[in-house]
Structure 1
Amino acid sequence: MKKRYVPGQHGAWAMLLIPFLFGMFAAKPVPLHALLFVCWLLVYLFSYPLLQWIRTGKRQVYGKPMLVYGSLLVPTGAVLLVLHPVLIKFALLFVPLFLVNSYYARCNRERSLVNDTAAVVQFSLIVFVAYQAGGGSDWRLAAELFGFSVLYFMGTVFHVKTMIREKHNAIYYRFSVGYHLAMLAAAAIWFPPALLAPLAVLLVRAIWSPRTKLTVKQSGMLEIAYSVLIACSVLFVYGI
């Protein structure tokens, strides 16, 4: 029963929260952010059974969760748009990315790298929404935080695959390490120098962790710690 209502992808919770925090603190926290986060959470919770229904065709299983979350999302979203109508233009950005997710769910290929990329970009877009809700005006800063979010979570996608589904795939391992090296180089050009230290930690993680005998649970707990490190580092470095 719980699996019908609560997504089992633990890494998605970090993607749900961290980009939101980036956008909120880059502008300034305001009461509207509480309503926005509730709406954002409901969107995620509603999309989970919707995608499962698309994948399996089991409406009798996932119909009720969709009804529960949908009945909460519609009035919450309506109130949010009445209070801040301009947010509707950001909502439209999510549609094509969700269509990509729907396509891969229908094909039962949700682990596809293209699908993962669409999900990462989709979650990261909340940076702009939260920034707008807080009255932010430096859109270069918002774009920088969005870009960092995409870079970080894509690295996490590659790394987690080397720990689970591609654990013994030497080519994928080299690709993951290469990506983290490239991310470190990109950060040296585009982001504040102080972020190089936590990104170097992620590079060490990409090199070291797949060579260990860490269990899936242990790896997941470490990912939580890495997410906290990145979130705190960004908020501190940007002074937000």
Structure 2
Amino acid sequence: MKKYIPNQHGAWAMLVLPFLLGVAASRGQFIHIPLFVCWLLIYLFSFPLLQGVKTRKFSRYAGPLKLYGLLLIPFIVYLVIAEPALLWFVLPLVPLFAVNLYYAKTKNERALFNDISAILAFCLILYPVFYVGQGESWRTATELFLLAVLYFTGTALYVKTVIRERNNIRFYYASVLYHLLVAAAGLFLFPPLLVPLLILAARAAILPRTGISAKRTGMIEIGFSIMLYVSVLVLYF
């Protein structure tokens, strides 16, 4: 099952949260259901693809590639017929995924620039979700996109202080400083969300000092994503 189900717990939050923020900024529509299934299948398809590029053993991942590829086709066809304009939202994803392919090929997937490229790709789903949901305020959509990018970039820094950079005190301070700067910027960009942003800064400062495991970090981060989403629903709108 490791070939079929990605083991990156934090990535599931990146998959879901921007999508839900896009729905929150617009109106729930039936088309959001096939759009989410398509988005999920794209992620499930890209995981074995990147693993194949990394290991150069595509035969090992032929099963999930065929399965998810075949499942993807009818959803892509339906969405293109129902909303042809969705194709325009694919364009910015192409260079970002090219970056991911490059880092997979060079076996340097943990590079921060690769993380940021993936974060941007995940967060960009907010715009087509907002579009098909007939949202009215593109400014609100852009603010939520920025919030998601800032949050997940901070998460990438924080997670590195738990795993690969756990003994790098400079990286730890850089992560904490980043979160404090985001909280400060939140005073002007997202005033109602200051408390959640401060909580995220506190987790970046405290949790790496507890010796928390990588797996638990990913699972707990799902909880912080839920906190941020609920905060947006309750405090932002």
TM-score, normalised by the number of residues in structure 2: 0.97
Alignment of 1:170-181 (within 5 A): 170-181=169-180
Further displaced range: 73-82 or 147-156: 73-82
Equivalent residue letter for 1:230: L
Shift of 1:169: 0.6
1:214 equivalent among 212, 215, 224: 212
Q: Does 1:228 align with 2:226?
A: yes
Q: Which amino acid aligns with 1:220?
A: G
| Distance (Å, rounded) in 1 between the aligned partners of 2:215 and 2:78 | 39
Amino acid at match of 1:80: L
The alpha-carbon deviation at position 115 of structure 1 amounts to 0.2
- Name 2:129's counterpart in structure 1: 130
Which residue does the alignment assign to 1:118? 117
Q: Of 197, 211, 217, which aligns to 2:195?
A: 197
2:8 aligned counterpart, secondary structure = coil
**Partner AA of 1:47 in structure 2:** S
Aligned: 1:71 with 2:70 = yes
Distance 1:214 1:236 in 2: 30
1:41 aligned partner, one-letter code: L
Q: Deviations over 1:185-240 (max 9, x none)?
A: 1111111x22000110011111111111323333333212211111111122233x
Q: Tell me the distance in 1 between the aligned counterparts of 2:203 and 2:33.
A: 34
Q: What's the secondary structure of 1:108's corresponding residue?
A: coil
More displaced 10-residue stretch of structure 1: 114-123 or 52-61: 52-61
Q: Which residues of structure 1 form unaligned runs of 5+? A: none
For residues 178 and 133 of structure 2, the distance between their equivalents in structure 1, rounded to whole angstroms, comes to: 33
Runs of at least 5 residues in structure 2 that lack an aligned partner in the other structure: none
Aligned residues: 237
Q: Deviation at 1:126?
A: 0.6
Distance 1:218 1:67, change over 3 A: closer
Q: Secondary structure at the match of 1:27?
A: coil
Runs of 4+ in 1 over 3 A off after TM superposition: none
C-alpha separation in 2, matches of 1:108 and 1:57: 11
Q: Does 2:27 align with 1:7?
A: no
Letter of the 2:163 partner, please give it: I
Q: Is the 8 A contact 2:17 2:229 kept in 1?
A: yes
Residue identity over aligned pairs, in percent, reads: 49
1:37-74 residue CA offsets vs partner (Å, 9 max, x unmatched): 00000110010111111111111111221111011111
